[in-house]
Amino acid sequence: MTLEIAVAAALFVGVLAYALFAGADFGSGFFDLTAGGPSRGAEMRSLVDHSIGPVWEANHVWLIFCLVTWWTGFPRSFAAMTTTLFIPLALALAGIVLRGAAFAFRKYAPSLGQARLYGAVFAGSSLVTPFFLGTVAGAIASGRVPAEGYGDRWSSWLNPVSLFGGVIAVGTCAFLAGTFLCADAERTGHGGLIDTLRRRTLGVGVITGLVVFAALIPIRQDAPTLARGLERQAAPLIVISAIAGVTTLGLLWRRRFSPARITAVAAVATVISGWGVGQYPWLLVDQVRINDAGGARSTLIGLIIAVGCATVVVLPPLAGLYWFTQSEHLDEADAH
């Protein structure tokens, strides 16, 4: 394995973690948005608040990790990406800012009116962000980011593969969030929410699954390199993803929410890994190979060291945070 591949692998782990953890946070915006009027939706919104409140900032840092690793490890391709995909990146960024700020404001909003305003901004921007990040992924995967940058500002992300990418991103986020919220609702005793959550999650899951398979058609026409990868080295992942997805639906149907979380994560993780493995060895598909994109060797080594430090310093407390917030029981939650 070359240094470049090692750094790219670390980068991809960041993408995966962001998609799974921050994805679930984003997806809860969908349930927030569709929770109904202020009194009917109050319980759902409180649940969303409670579930993502302590963790969303930590989950968000994965994105920073990805950006920084990319520009440090593969600087030229980073500039190529930003100059080409300026518009979707700027829109995703707007979503990130609005979501984070509005979420924090809503928690301490003095009146219902203000809370509704912030809540609408939070929920809406939670859907905007994954959509545009999905189009970015689609643009890279379909070979629309030229090595020298400054690709077409519009068609690079307004094309079938990118748009499917955006929709899939939103769908997978909502699916993940729904599964987690079902489990949270069960654990914290919100029996009343479970029916709605379960129904919507099943709906979103079925639709997203269909969209993923429908996307294979434009991918074959429009992104032949990725399509070849998906049919060859990434095929097992796609199959596993399909199985895990269907299993999740089954578990949700039978109200086995706790194990459904695991299979849902597996389904999404394998879809995303399928994309990564499918486009290997390209960093920017058809344009730049990972092995040709690396920056200075000494910097790549430095990055590996940084990633090593992060594994030791960050992962244990991160695991602790999840354990701490997930292991809380009813009586303790009542204490505040």
Q: Does 97 bind ligand HEM (CB under 6 A)?
A: no
Question: Which pair of tokens denotes residue 269?
Answer: 């993780």
Which of these segments, 30-38, 54-62, 167-175, 217-225, binds ligand HEM (CB under 6 A)? 54-62
Which of these segments, 148-156, 158-166, 223-231, 269-277, binds another protein (CB under 8 A)? 148-156
Question: Which pair of tokens denotes residue 297?
Answer: 């060797």
Question: Which pair of tokens denotes residue 216?
Answer: 């294979």
Which of these segments, 113-121, 218-226, 243-251, 259-267, binds another protein (CB under 8 A)? 113-121
The listed partner (another protein, ligand HEM, none) that binds 306, CB under 5 to 8 Å by sort, is another protein
Q: What residue has token string 């599964």?
A: 179
DSSP state of 1: -
**DSSP string covering 212-245, please?**
HHHHHHHHHHH-HHHHHHHHTTTHHHHHHHHHHH
Which of these segments, 19-27, 156-164, 186-194, 246-254, binds another protein (CB under 8 A)? 186-194
Select 93 or 333, whichever has its Cβ closest to ligand HEM: 93
Long-range contacts of 286-289 (CB under 8 A, 24+ apart): 286/143, 286/225, 287/80, 287/143, 287/145, 287/146, 287/147, 288/76, 288/77, 288/80, 288/147
| Cβ atoms of residues 56 and 103 within 8 Å | yes
Cα distance between residue 208 and residue 230, in whole Å? 18
Query: To the nearest whole angstrom, how small is the minimum distance from the Cβ of residue 163 to another protein?
Result: 20
Q: Does 192 bind another protein (CB under 8 A)?
A: yes
Residues 280-309 that bind another protein (CB under 8 A): 295-296, 298-300, 302-303, 306, 309
Reply yes or no: is the peptide bond before residue 110 cis, omega within 30 of 0. Answer: no
Out of 6, 9, 49, 216, point to the residue binding another protein (CB under 8 A).
Answer: 49
Q: What contacts 322, CB < 8 A, 6 or more positions away? A: 55
Residues in contact with ligand HEM, total (CB under 6 A)?
4
Out of 9, 42, 49, 60, point to the residue binding ligand HEM (CB under 6 A).
Answer: 60
The listed partner (another protein, ligand HEM, none) that binds 250, CB under 5 to 8 Å by sort, is none
Select 60 or 153, whichever has its Cβ closest to ligand HEM: 60
Evaluated on CA atoms 248, 250, 253, 258, the torsion sign reads negative
Out of 6, 101, 211, 246, point to the residue binding another protein (CB under 8 A).
Answer: 101
Query: To the nearest whole angstrom, how small is the minimum distance from the Cβ of residue 298 to another protein?
Result: 6
Q: Does 231 bind ligand HEM (CB under 6 A)?
A: no
Out of 93, 214, 217, 239, point to the residue binding another protein (CB under 8 A).
Answer: 93
Q: Does 146 bind another protein (CB under 8 A)?
A: no
Residues 18-47 that bind another protein (CB under 8 A): 38, 41-43, 45-47
3-state secondary structure (DSSP) of residue 329: coil
Question: Which pair of tokens denotes residue 260?
Answer: 């459904």
Residues in the site for ligand HEM, rule: CB under 6 A? 57, 60-61, 64
